[in-house]
Each structure stands twice: as C-alpha cells, then as structure tokens.
Structure 1
Amino acid sequence: MESTQSEASVLKYFDQIISAQDESDVAHCVRAIVSTLGAESYVFVSMNPAESSESRASHRFLIGCRPEWCQLYNANKWFMTDPFLDYSVSNTEPIFGSQVEVTTQGQRDMLTSAHEHGFRSGFVVPVHASDKGRIGVLYLGSDKTEAEGEKIFSVSRMYFRALAVELLDWSIRVAKLEIMESRSITGKDLQVVSYLKDGFTAEDIAREMDVSVQTIYGNYKKIKDKVGASHISEVVKFAEVNGLLV
C-alpha cells in the first residue's frame, strides 16, 4: 500500500470482519481488503487436521476467486493432496506459491490449473490458533507474473498475516456455534467439560458448581449422549478437537 487513505480503508474493513454477522459480510470485507492490497483472488480454508478426510467434514471455505477453479478443485479432489494445505499443517511462515514443494503429478496438475484461473502468482499464509484444533490457510493469487505478484505480496505481508488471523478467529467462532447447536450442547455442558480437561474429579466439579455429585454424574450422561460417546474422556477429546473449549 502506498497511501494513508488505503491503509485507513483496510483497517476499516478489518473492524467490520470482527463484527460481521454472516459469511456474506465477511466475504465482502475480505474482497475489499485483498483488492486494496493488490491481490486479485483469494481462498481461505480452515480445517481440523485431526478430522481431515475425503469427506472434508471439518473444512470451511471462504471463496474469492473464479468459480470454475473451485469446481475443478472439488471435482479432482485436490484438497486431498493440496501441497499448500500440506505445508500449512506443520508451518506458520508465509511462503510464495512458487516456493512450496511439489512432489506428485496430481500436485503439478493442480498448480497448472491454478495458474490458469487467477493464481499465476500466489502467496500462502498459514495460521494456527493452538497446538490442537483448527488451522487456517489464506491463499492469495494474482494474474501477474510471479516476479510482479510476489513483490506485491511482500509489501503487504503484515496485513495478509493479520487477515489470516482474523479469518481463523471468525471461522472458529462459527464452527463452534454450529457444533453446539447441532448437538444441543450448552454453556453449562462446556463448563463441566472444561473442569474435566483441567483434571477435576466429579467431587471437585460439584463443589465448584455448588451442586451434588449425583447432579454432575447426571451431567456426564447427558453430555455423553449429545456427543455420542461411551466415556466422558471421549467428550473431552471431542471438545478439544472441535475447539469448543477455546
């Protein structure tokens, strides 16, 4: 960015992401930020590596690129071997698309198609909220040459990293609410699970919550039924994996 006016515009949209009510509001803000910073296309994906599978049940996408690229990506199941996702699972350092290691023909085919659909040059921005749970990847693209595009990405590197963090926070909030609503999990349920995660016994939890031990065991049964678990320790694991205790 070159002007104070552009910076002010970007910061305004950052504020709007934090208070956005739905996905369309977020997508509008991201598009405005990305275009102001000089990129032309973007895809943000958040996922839980511990649950990743061919069904992509844990993946959430925010799309700001050509629809035909998304159709090809899904049709070829490139999400199963995507080198940018592979890199982002174990790295937090942003990297140019040209620097990501490609080892298979399928990955080379994916990159060729990406170059033809708005990602001639690219920038990969991984973001991790914690050692466990969801991670995010912001992939930015431009039809400019790699030399031209990568120069633009470098100049706005700080803003792109901040954008990735905000999008992961937003994605975690949305995913948490969806899981709680779909399983009828309450705040009280999570309070009990949080105590369990910290090593509290049923007696400890009863004392903290000022209820009987029998009530806590009743809570255990209800929470297990909601999650579909046979043991309360499985509920703790479920909550950790899905970011419900963050």
Structure 2
Amino acid sequence: MATTCSDASELRSLAHLTSRPDYFGRVSAVVQRLAGAVDEAEALALLKNAAHCMGADSAAFGSFIRDDPSHESYRFLLACDPVWCLEYGRRAWYAHDPWLNYALLHSQPVRASEIPVTTLEEKEIVELAEEFGVKSAVIVPAPASGSVTRIGVLCLGSAQDGFFEGDGFVALKIAARSLAMELNEWWIDRIKRELRESARITSEDLALLRHERLGHGTKRIAAELGTSPGSVDSRFQRINAKLGVANRKAAASLAAEYGLI
C-alpha cells in the first residue's frame, strides 16, 4: 500500500510535526520509492507526497548543469501552482533567481529568508512566489557525486508565514536533504537511460562531439575529417536532434556530462 501523509496538513506547527515519532519513517518510506519511479508523473506524485509529509503545501525541484546559459539542461518537477511556473518561465528568471543561485554555491539546506535578496529582479522573484502562496520556504541544494556536474535544488513552500522559521528545522533539513538527493539521482539516471535508449549516438557522432568539446571550429573539423564544412554542420544538426538540445555546444556538454566522450 502506498505511504501517504493525509493528516500532515492538520499539524500547522513544524515543531509539532517533526516531533512525531514516525516523522522520519513516513518521509523515508516515500523517498525510498523514488528510485523505482518509471516516469515523471510518478516521480512528481512522490515529490508531492514527501513534501506533504514534511508539512509543506507546495514543492518544486530543479536539476541542471552548472554553467548552462542556454538553460537547455534544466529539468523540473513542479508540485505547485502552474500559473506561478508559467509566469516564472515567461520572464526567464533562471539567471536571477536567488534560490537557484544559492544552490550553485552551497550545499547546506537553508530557509529562504536567510538568502540575501538585493536586486530588483531577485525581489520580484520572491514577491511572485509569495503571491502564489509561498510565504515561507526552505531551499535544499543537491550536489551530484563523482564527475557528474548536474546539481539540483528542492524548494519546499508553505502558505503560512514563518512556518519554517521555528523549532523543528534541523529535523526537516535531514528529511529534505534525503529527498533532494534522491530526486537529483533520479533525474541523472533518467537522462542516462534516454541517451542510451533513444539517442543512438554513433562513433562518428562521438568524434564530432570530441572536436566540439575541444573548441574546434567547423573548418578545422572538416579538414581533419576530410569532409566539407557543410557536411560537418549538417551532422551536428542531426546530433542535436538526437540529443534534444539546441546547439552543438550543448550536445558536447551533455555527452561529456554522462561519459559519452
């Protein structure tokens, strides 16, 4: 039987919720099921359930590659108001988001109220979150291990002012960190499977991607491979389509990220 936390919303004190003897067990039972999630819908349902077990009204998880100005590597699971997400995306606020930027530089979970907000864009982002019911939030970075540079960030939100500010935060951090790490591992494994199963990258494709990774231009690649610049560009376009990215730089970064080159 699926583990649910249907009564968590009745406990409006974080200290009260985290002091329950079954608190960690209830969260852990949901988190442990993430590795077996077959698709995004199932992973999202588990995110919603785990967040609810921890007392959150909403949650969002993002996984992305560091230093990705194109944002092509970004993947999201959004258990929150869809209008908020649409407005956030319309304004392309990724580069200015203080919560995302915190996750790039830190590994410790933190209350959103502790993250400095200084620029106009940052203030607008936080105000938009509050407008859609995120009046208190916790930001949980999820750094990857080994050579993988994909990192994640979990945001837990509450419509109750100051919900995450009081006692119980230490226990919440432990539970939230396990959820964030499992979500990031799930995305990494999913992307690896997609590359293996659907991209069908050939050895010739990998040779082109290695050149791109080394910063070689089209003319140099064509000369070294004994073909025309037009042929090189066409082959890169096919590779981009296979990998589902916008350009050859993103394709080479993705291939390197998952050990293909």
Q: Matches of 1:112 and 1:48 in 2, distance apart?
A: 26
Give the drift of 1:45: 0.1
Q: 1:24 to 1:230 in 2, by over 3 A?
A: same
Amino acid at match of 2:60: V
1:134 maps onto 2:150 in alignment: yes
1:24 aligned to 2:5? no
Partner of 1:199: none
What does residue 123 of structure 1 align with?
A: 138
CA-CA distance at 1:181 after TM superposition: 3.9
Question: What is the distance in 2 between the residues matched to 1:233 and 1:176?
Answer: 23
The aligned counterpart of 2:26 is: 9
The match for 1:155 among 147, 164, 171 is: 171
Give the TM-score taking structure 2 as reference length. Answer: 0.71
Match of 1:195 in 2: none
1:201-212 equivalences in 2 (<5 Å): none
Structure 1 pair 238–149 and aligned structure 2 pair: CA distance change class (3 A) = closer
Please give the TM-score of this superposition, normalised by the length of structure 1. Answer: 0.75
Aligned to 1:224: 207
1: CA distance, partners of 2:31 / 2:187: 15
Aligned residues: 207
Whole-angstrom CA distance in 1 between matches of 2:199 and 2:141: 30
* Structure-2 residue corresponding to 1:59: 74
Q: Greater share of helix residues, 1 or 2? A: 1
Work out which of the residue numbers 87, 100, 118 in structure 2 matches 1:85: 100
1:86 maps to amino acid: N
Q: Distance in 1 between matches of 2:254 and 2:76?
A: 22
> Contact conserved, 2:44 with 2:77, CA < 8 A, in 1?
yes
Aligned pair partner of 1:76 in 91, 94, 99: 91
Unaligned runs of 5+ in 1: 190-218
SS state at 2:165 partner: helix
Structure 1: distance between partners of 2:198 and 2:72: 14
Whole-angstrom distance in 1 between the partners of 2:76 and 2:175 = 20
Tell whether the 8 Å contact from 1:50 to 1:241 is kept in structure 2 after alignment: no
Q: Deviation per CA, 1:76-99: give whole Å up to 9, x if none.
A: 111121011111111101111011
